[in-house]
Structures are given as structure tokens and as C-alpha cells.
Chain A
């Protein structure tokens, strides 16, 4: 038997050492990949998977008065069964004519806080950093860089429907 720890290994022994070292590193890498590939794919899936959009009924046509802006609630397009109340989203819905509606996202374009409609002043106001929007959603004051996001609305028979969408993000163009 040769001495594996001899200070001056034979070329043959040297080769064995290198081989074992490389084999160990290679197999360790393989083990790592076997865990990391499915694991990372699992946790990153929500980043790349596009959720389908859906039309959600938010109320009967006759329940919305002309010119009035009201808060409506609807559910995400494909809520997890355990999501419960967190699957809900809100929107400010205004009837502008018999068959025409505007739906604003409740998310302020500054940092996403929920804006409130102040009916008498005809303004949307954000509690977080004081963003203010006019009734058409354009910025009236404060830090928001963009007008309120709008959802698509349609009238199907007697039902008013809103098309679901992602939380509007204010991105930085490069």
C-alpha cells in the first residue's frame, strides 16, 4: 500500500489526489444544482409567470349614480384558495354617462398607499405623503410622479365589469 500523505507523491499518487479532489468538487456542485434548480425555479416562478386577466363584476348598472365616484371591490384573477381577504383589490369607479365608466386604481403612484376620494373637494388624497389628484386622476400636488392608474371597465348587460390588473408600479426608465 502506498502512503497517501507522503510528502513527495509518485506521479501516479499525484494523479489520484487531483482526481479525487476534482471528483469531490464536481459531485458537490451536482448536489447543489439538484437542490438549487428546482428550488429557485419554485420561488422565482411568480416573478415570470404572467397572471391571466379577468373581467370581474363589481355591481349592477342601476346602482351607480351618474357622476358619483364610489369604492368598488373585486377579486384577483386567480386567487389562491387560502388567500381570503387578501385576494381583494379596490378601485374608485365613476359613472360618467349612461354606459361609460372610469375606474381608478386606489394605489397612489408615489409609493402605492391607498388614496381616498374626497367628494366635496373632488380630489383624491393620499394619507402617506400627501399626494393629491384631480378628479380625472392627474396630479394636483405632492410627490406622485404620474396620474392615477386606470382599469378598463365595460358594461355587460346589467353588470358593470372591471378588468383585473397588477398593482401599478412606478418604474424608473433607464
Chain B
């Protein structure tokens, strides 16, 4: 009796709301049965996005996007607010997860050539989403409004300022004026919280609509190249024979993998915690070494490796060229083989890109181009003397900044050549010429050190002969 009544209420509600007519067909659309675990990355990216939206909303309840208060509110969220540390951590690792998963999803779709007919727009909307998500990553890093955040804005504005003609205008738009100030952070807050998420919501809606319109692709089959003339008919026909309902025959794998991803996000947030805040966002503080989050390190390293003449072109051109190349891919090739076995170059592109990413990321981790400001004086064990001219020379090598860029037995930076064996490689005269005149990337010290100091430094360097 009671159950019957409930059913009646549901039926009349469903008649008005249209759940059975609109939502059920979406859930039960027929998908190929052979994809198994290959297709879980897209849904996991969506799950990571949901984590970001929900944790982001929670954080925004305490975060104050004001020039001065942001840092205090971040400290409050991290140190005092119940669960604040966990939520900040989830938002941080959720961002990393979303970017990683979006890239993995793209790589999988590329390797399986799912971007070919009729799913060109699925791919193109996905490429737009990827770049918008990277924009989310950049704007989000800055909302961590500490010294690193404020100086990252300056670097971003300087990069934009390099654009021909409109550069300064874009830079001043980014800064909200011609210097960093009260308006700067609120601009990035609006980008990160209103504008870019709006674009992502719209993009996901389009991406999913297109997915339903063209159906989930089958696993690539070397015997079945894509022929636009017959593809749709063949696909429908095969699917009606072997397809399964998305709910629950395929979605359970998405659920398992998404749960795994969320477990990792929460686990990292609990065990490692959110990135520590550096000093306050004071644009007059010079103790800052702005560094982007890890997924941009490869780009950061690329910038340090470029000859100055190429730099502006790469800073501005690389993102544009990368976007256009990916976006236009289905326009260049939208039919033919999908199987990776018939497209070995596709695998080659992925391996080359992945290798470059790893190498550049490791390179950026060591930052060999950055002077080692914190290098301690050389210990007597390495100098080989406690006092006398050799020890004095070693002290000068530290105080005159040589060690900032030159390494001696593990002490010092890597901007310039290592000096551990320089006594064997250069004569006394060569050393004097190099130090006085400088050279490729090395300042000339002739004007800043006395000849007595030069004698001591050269005397010490001559004793560096390796072991």
C-alpha cells in the first residue's frame, strides 16, 4: 500500500521532471565491451575536477582575495581552521591529479587515434579544455599569495609584456595597474574562481554531449581503418551486436579508478600536506626565487636554456604553436588507421615528448642556471690549509661570489664550469685573464678586485688539481 503510493508519487514526479526520458537513456547508452580499463582516464579527470570545485568552494569560504589579507587567511586555513590543512592539500594534489589525468587522457586518445572521424570536435573541445585547465593551474598557484605568488605574477606580466605592440597593455591588465598592488590578486581570483571554471563547465558539457552524440569509440582494430563513408553505419551495426549498457557494465571501472584517484589525493593531502607558504607577499622583498608548480618546470627549464635572441619567440610562441598543432590535428588527418601498430610514429611522438618532459623537469629541479646564494665557505679540509695565502684565497673565492656559479668539490653553483681541477686545466696567466676580463656569461672582475686579491684567488685556484 505504502510502497504503491511512493511509486505513484515517483511516477508523477518523473512525468513532470523527465528523469526516465532524459537521464536514463544517457546512463544506459550502449558502449563497446572491449575497452575495459583503457577508458577510465576521462572520467577520472572529471572526478578530479569535482574534487577541485568542492574543495575550492570550501576554501573560498575562508580565503580573502585582498592584497594584504590573503596571506593571513592562507595561514589561518593552513594552521588553525579545522580540516583547513586537509582541504588545501586536497585542492593542491587535486590540481596535480587533474592536469596529469587530462594529459594521460589526451595521450590515450592520441595513441588510439580516437580523434579521427567523426570525433574531430570531441578532440578539439578536449584540447581547449586542457589549455584552460593549465590556465587554472597557473592562476591557482598565484592565489597561494606569498612571496612566490607575488613574484610569479611579476614574471607572468613580464612574459606578456614581451608581446609585440600590445605587450605593455596586457601586462598592465594582468597587474591591474602598472605595479603589483591591491587589484592584482583580486583579478587572478576572478579568473580562477569565476571565468576559467565557467569555461571549464561549458567545455565539459560540450565534450560530454559530443561523446554521447558519436558514441564511445571502439578499441582500435588494425583490420578496420576509419572510412568516413561507412564508419557510422558499421559502428552502429557492430555496437548493436556486441555493445553493453554503460550503466553498470562499463561505469563500474570508472568508479573503481576514480575512487583510487581520490584516495591518492586525500592520502597525499594527509601524509604530505599542502605546499608550505613562503614569506609574505611583499614586492619589495628580495629573498624570493619564484618557481612554478612542478607541472610547469619543463617550461621554466626551457626558458633558461634558450639563447636570448630566441627567447621572446619561444615564450610567446611555444604555447600558441602547441595549442594550434594539437587543435588542428584532426583537420590534418581524420581517416585511415587507428591502431598504434600501424602508426609507429604516434608512439614515437609520445615517447619523445615524455622523455623531454622528464629530462627538463629533472633539470629544473636542480636549477643549475641559478646562482647558489646560500653556499657556505669552503671547509679547511677541501681548501687544504687552515691559514696562510691559500686559505685567504679560498675565503675570497667565497666572498667575491665565485662559488655562487662555480662548484669546488661539491660546494657552489653550476652556472659556470666546475673549478675542482682548474689548476690542471688553466695556467696562471689564463686564470688572470679569465677573472679580469670575464667571458661567456662570466662578469669581468678587473674593476672590483685588487691585484693583491687576484693574486690570492689565483694562488688558491692553482692548488685545485683534483685528487
A positions within 8 Å CB-CB of B: 43-44, 46-47, 50-51, 71, 73-74, 76, 79-90, 106-107, 110-116, 118, 120-123, 125-130, 132, 134-135, 140-143, 145, 166-167, 169-172, 174
Contact stretch, chosen from B37-45, B163-171, B343-351, B355-363: B163-171
Q: Is B443 part of the contact surface with A, judged by Cβ < 8 Å?
A: yes
- Chain B residues, Cβ within 8 Å of A71: 284, 286
Contacting residues, chain B, for A44 (C-beta < 8 A)? 173
> Is B154 in the interface zone, CB < 8 Å from A?
yes
Q: Are B169 and A172 in contact (CB under 8 A)?
A: no
Q: Identify which of B162, B179, B281 contacts A167 (C-beta below 8 A).
A: B179
Which residues of chain A have C-beta atoms less than 8 A from B448's C-beta?
A: 121-123, 135
Cα(A81)–Cα(B181), bound, Å:
10
- Is residue B330 contacting chain A, with contact meaning CB distance below 8 A? no
Report if B405 contacts A (CB, 8 A): yes
Q: Take A85-B282, A86-B150 as given contacts and tell me if A129 and B308 are in contact as well, using a CB distance cutoff of 8 Å.
A: no
**Closest-CB distance, A123 to chain B (whole angstroms):** 6
- Bound Cα distance A73, B287 (Å): 14
Residues of A within 8 A of B404 (CB): 118, 121, 125
A122 vs B444: C-alpha distance when bound (angstroms): 11
Chain A nearest CB, measured from B246 CB (Å): 38
A110 to B306, CA, bound (A): 12
Q: A84-B68, A118-B404, A135-B448 are in contact. List 5 more A-B contacts (CB 8 A).
A: A84-B66, A112-B154, A125-B371, A143-B311, A172-B312
A127 near B181 with CB under 8 A, answer no
Q: Which residue of B lies closest to A77 (CB)?
A: B179
Contact in complex: A167, B154 (CB < 8 Å):
yes
Most buried by A among B168, B283, B311, B441: B283
8 Å CB interface, B273-292 against A: 280-290
Q: Which residues of B contact A (CB under 8 A)?
A: 66-69, 71, 150-151, 154-155, 157-159, 161-165, 167-169, 171-173, 175-185, 280-290, 303-304, 306, 308, 311-312, 369-371, 373, 399-401, 404-405, 415, 438, 441-445, 447-448
Q: Establish whether residues A130 and B415, one from each chain, have CB atoms under 8 Å apart when the complex forms.
A: yes
Contact between A73 and B67, CB atoms less than 8 A apart: no
Judge whether A86 and B180 touch: CB under 8 Å: yes
Known: A46-B172, A172-B162. A141 touches B181 (CB 8 A): no
- Write 27 A-B pairs (CB below 8 A) sorted by A numbering: A46-B176, A46-B183, A76-B177, A76-B179, A80-B181, A83-B183, A84-B66, A88-B282, A88-B283, A89-B284, A107-B158, A111-B155, A111-B158, A113-B151, A113-B289, A116-B286, A121-B401, A122-B447, A125-B371, A130-B405, A134-B443, A140-B442, A141-B438, A167-B180, A169-B157, A174-B164, A174-B165
Known: A114-B151, A174-B165. A86 touches B185 (CB 8 A): yes
Q: Could you say which of A73, A127, A170 contacts B373, with CB atoms under 8 Å apart?
A: A127
* Other-chain residue from B283, B311, B401 in contact with A86 (beta carbon distance below 8 A): B283
Q: Which listed residue, A85, A122, A127, touches B67 by the CB 8 Å rule?
A: A85
Closest 5 CB pairs of A and B: A84-B68, A83-B182, A90-B284, A80-B182, A166-B178
Contact A107 B373 (CB under 8 A): no
Chain B nearest CB, measured from A144 CB (Å)? 8
Q: A82-B66, A114-B288, A129-B303 are in contact. Are A46 and B369 (CB under 8 A)?
A: no
Question: Which A residues touch B443, using CB under 8 A?
Answer: 123, 132, 134, 140-141
Point out the residues of chain A lying under 8 angstroms from B175, CB to CB.
46, 167
CA distance A87 to B281 in the complex (A): 10
Given contacts A47-B173, A145-B308, A170-B158, contact A86 B282 (CB under 8 A): yes
Please give me the residue from chain A that is nearest to B439 by CB atom: A141
Closest chain-B Cβ to A156's Cβ sits at a distance in Å of 21
CB distance from A94 to the nearest CB of B (A): 14
Shortest Cβ distance from A135 into B: residue: B448
* Residue numbers in B under 8 Å from A82 (CB-CB): 66-69, 182
